[in-house]
């Protein structure tokens, strides 16, 4: 079931991810680095506000939807009421901030940011609903439509000279139209009604610590752009964000696809079979996460020159290549932490411990950024991010093992290192046989993927060999 659902969500999230590749290529060619830098600052600011204000509600929906599926409309009514109770005051505060901001350009961008925050938060709540309901097709329709519309609308506006506001308006339109097309029917018959005090207390007790954790994770993955803007300039933010997004977000997309399919299966196993069943499911999930993180990261680094030249605009390339390998492996460590080690706290309903791991990582990241950026520029920011994620992952692994009975790490790490070394090495060798960028990328990607899949079969990753032999005996 894990592999089948992963394939479903690969289509549902992978195709929009390819569109995001195209968006990065479009915007780094149509926007100047300083314009892309302003856009990146808006995205990271909206992301922080989204995490602080609305992430807890999405987490509650994902964790407890299955337990309340027999009273669906009543449960969703509580979710809707909670969303509105946050959205209304946030709108007023955001508009007030925009009006008093001294810079006219940023006044306009802040107004757009408020609208984007609400649209994005509501859209992502609907994605969580589709995921919790194990509806990968609906998930794919929502995310695919949003990705396509954002690049069409945003790219068109960028070509017309809208500057930094072009991709922001594109995102707003894409979120809204995607929900209207595919999401509204899930809320038919749902009336907002705040849940009872006991239910609300339990939801907040679960969601708020995770919200703090995600906010602290944002400090690790997003505050570097604000610090670069403060210590350097908006142009440096633009070139850093282009390379960072290509490296980090692409690998995290792959890992998120796996987790999108895997986490509901772990919750389902826990609800129906208890901790032993959840541990077995986590063993399969974790092996797939480790292999994808390490093998995917190795392959991505091996093909970095080809990927960067194809995707990133000329003004951004040299900086992107400089930070690329550091950010790729930061993404691999971040994914392993978020989608394996941190699950111990979520399944064990002890999410408060995530605050500690996040706080240590955030503090480390801030201190290292402030120390390294003045001397090493954006490369120092990449080093700080990698170090912070390593620290937080180690702490999460140690503490999580005391909260929930997690599967053994040895086999996961061993298989992942073998597969990663083989697939990354073969991809590098194959790509080096061609002078053409496209030929090198395609040959390296195909060779690395084939070798990686064969290695996965030989090592029986996530039980793939056993399942295939059972389905196709003889």
Comparing 432 with 472, which gets the higher pLDDT?
432
Strand runs labelled E in 14-65: none
pLDDT over 60 at 472, yes or no:
no
pLDDT over 80 at 436, yes or no:
yes
Q: Confirm if 179 and 126 have CB atoms less than 8 A apart.
A: yes
Round the average pLDDT of the chain to a whole number and report it.
87
Comparing 429 with 199, which gets the higher pLDDT?
429
What pLDDT does 304 receive? 94
What pLDDT does 135 receive? 76
Q: What percent of the chain has a predicted confidence (pLDDT) above 70?
A: 93
pLDDT over 80 at 204, yes or no:
no
What pLDDT does 106 receive? 92
Average pLDDT over residues 23-38: 93
Q: How confident is the model at residue 5 (pLDDT cuts 50, 70, 90)?
A: low
pLDDT over 80 at 158, yes or no:
yes
What pLDDT, in 10s, does the model give residues 39-60?
999 999 998 899 888 988 888 8
pLDDT over 60 at 11, yes or no:
no
Average pLDDT over residues 388-417: 90
Q: How confident is the model at residue 114 (pLDDT cuts 50, 70, 90)?
A: very high
pLDDT over 60 at 474, yes or no:
no
pLDDT over 90 at 268, yes or no:
no
Average pLDDT over residues 258-262: 80
Helix ranges restricted to H, 303-342: 304-311, 317-336
Q: Of 230, 250, 187, 347, which is closest to residue 14 (Cα–Cα)?
A: 250
What pLDDT does 7 receive? 57
* pTM of the full structure: 0.79
pLDDT over 90 at 270, yes or no:
no
What pLDDT does 254 receive? 84
- Tell me the CB-side half-sphere exposure of residue 410, using CA atoms within 13 A: 1
Q: DSSP string of 99-157?
A: HH-S-HHHHHHHHHHHHHHHHHHHHHHHHHHHHHTT-HHHHHHHHHHHHHHHHHHHHHH
Q: How confident is the model at residue 273 (pLDDT cuts 50, 70, 90)?
A: confident
DSSP state of 457: H
CA pair distance 140, 85, nearest whole angstrom? 29
What pLDDT, in 10s, does the model give residues 208-249?
777 777 777 777 778 899 999 999 999 999 999 999 989 998
């Amino acid at each position: 079931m894990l592999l089948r659902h992963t394939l479903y969500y690969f289509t549902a999230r992978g195709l929009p991810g390819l569109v995001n590749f195209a968006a990065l290529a479009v915007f780094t060619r149509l926007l100047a680095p300083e314009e892309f830098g302003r856009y990146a600052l808006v995205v990271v600011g909206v992301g922080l506000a989204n995490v602080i204000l609305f992430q807890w509600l999405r987490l509650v929906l994902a964790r407890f939807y299955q337990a309340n599926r027999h009273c669906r409309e009543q449960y969703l009514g509580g979710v809707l009421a909670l969303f509105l109770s946050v959205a209304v005051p946030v709108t007023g505060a955001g508009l007030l901030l925009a009006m008093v901001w001294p810079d006219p350009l940023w006044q306009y961008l802040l107004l757009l940011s408020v609208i984007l925050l609400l649209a994005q938060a509501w859209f992502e709540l609907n994605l969580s609903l589709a995921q919790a309901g194990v509806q990968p097709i609906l998930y794919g329709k929502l995310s695919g439509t949003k990705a396509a519309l954002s690049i069409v609308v945003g790219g068109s506006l960028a070509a017309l000279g809208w500057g930094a506001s072009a991709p922001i308006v594109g995102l707003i339109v894409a979120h809204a139209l995607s929900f209207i097309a595919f999401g509204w029917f899930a809320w038919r018959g749902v009336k907002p009604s705040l849940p009872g005090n006991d239910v609300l207390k339990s939801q907040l007790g679960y969601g708020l610590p995770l919200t703090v954790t995600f906010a602290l994770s944002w400090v690790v993955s997003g505050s570097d752009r604000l610090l670069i803007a403060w210590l350097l300039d908006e142009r440096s933010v633009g070139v850093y964000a282009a390379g960072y997004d290509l490296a980090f977000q692409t690998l995290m997309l792959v890992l998120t696809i796996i987790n999108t399919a895997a986490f509901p299966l772990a919750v389902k196993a826990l609800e129906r079979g208890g901790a032993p069943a959840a541990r077995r499911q986590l063993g399969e999930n974790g092996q797939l996460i480790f292999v994808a993180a390490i093998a995917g990261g190795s392959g991505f680094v091996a093909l970095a020159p080809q990927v960067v030249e194809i995707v990133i605009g000329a003004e951004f390339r040299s900086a992107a290549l400089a930070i690329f390998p550091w950010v790729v492996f930061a993404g691999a460590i971040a994914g392993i932490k978020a989608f394996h080690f941190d699950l111990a706290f979520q399944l064990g309903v002890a999410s408060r411990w995530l605050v500690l791991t996040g706080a240590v990582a955030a503090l480390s990241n801030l201190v290292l950024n402030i120390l390294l950026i003045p001397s090493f520029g954006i490369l120092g920011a990449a080093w700080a991010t990698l170090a912070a994620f390593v620290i937080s992952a180690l702490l999460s692994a140690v503490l999580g093992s005391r909260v929930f009975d997690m599967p053994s790490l040895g086999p996961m790490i061993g298989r992942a290192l073998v597969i990663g070394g083989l697939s990354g090495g073969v991809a590098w060798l194959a790509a080096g046989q061609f002078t053409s960028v496209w030929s090198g990328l395609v040959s390296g990607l195909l060779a690395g993927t084939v070798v990686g899949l064969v290695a996965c079969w030989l090592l029986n990753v996530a039980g793939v060999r056993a399942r295939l032999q059972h389905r196709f005996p003889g």
